[in-house]
Homo-oligomer: A and B are copies of this chain.
């Protein structure tokens, strides 16, 4: 039978691309379950994601596609399987527990290999659910040693993605560059409003009537990476700061779960500082 594959293509747009791509698939007798494509006008870039069923020789198909695609086209052919992820946390549980419960009940399209916390608050819950928890305290180490320790812990697992689930430390450029487009963060504001620290407090003081949450890919500009998904919720003058935080938690976990699902299903393309999500 063989397993399903996702084919991802990102290249300069040119006339007839779809005809040529689907032509090759047809000639080779591949069964296309679903195809989504998009041309970004501002950069003249073509994006496509296809799901194929049945047996497939990946290197042969990649070669055939590259032959008809523009030079420097990025093509990847990915067998559909659960991705491996590591979750980094600090003290707040809501994003972690949401993902862990989905994992426990086999609804997360990923294996949570481990959780790393700079505090130990979430150890009990994580271990109860059968997932290794590594406590790497930040204040006990200097910043460089801390990050090396985190890195060593991660490397043993060789994860596909890192998920920052209300992880409150800033990662260094050298750390981030090791996981290019592979670190997903949840920021507790409707970016670009309230970048940086204490967004709820600043939203409360500003008197906004809606708050938001943003899941994005981490790059080296704080809270400036490509946005995958956002969500908002209405509030009013009756919301004390603590009520805003409570309301915000609901959308934080929801938007992170949604963004992560897009990532895990290989639907997210990065174009400059934007994402194209082919769902």
Contact = CB atoms under 8 A, between A and B. Distances in A.
Given A97-B105, A104-B125, A190-B210, A18 B35 contact: yes
Interface string A217-244: 0000000001111111010111010000
A192 B210 contact: no
Give the interface SS of chain A, mostly helix, strand, loop or mixed: mixed
Contacts of A16: 22, 26
A237 B25 contact: no
A26 B23 CA distance: 11
Q: How many copies does the complex hold?
A: 4
Nearest to A25: B19
Contacts of A208: 191-192, 227, 230
A276 B18 contact: no
A161 to B, nearest CB: 19
B192 A38 contact: no
A168 B94 CA distance: 28
A169 interface: no
A250 B229 CA distance: 16
A237 B276 contact: yes
A178 interface: no
A15 interface: yes
26 contacts: A18-B22, A19-B19, A19-B22, A22-B22, A22-B23, A34-B39, A35-B37, A38-B237, A38-B238, A40-B237, A41-B240, A97-B105, A128-B129, A190-B190, A190-B193, A192-B193, A192-B206, A192-B208, A206-B227, A207-B274, A208-B227, A209-B230, A210-B212, A212-B232, A237-B275, A254-B254
Interface of A: 15-16, 18-20, 22-23, 25-26, 31-32, 34-35, 37-41, 93-94, 97-98, 101, 104-105, 125, 128-129, 190-194, 206-210, 212, 226-232, 234, 236-238, 240, 250, 254, 272-277
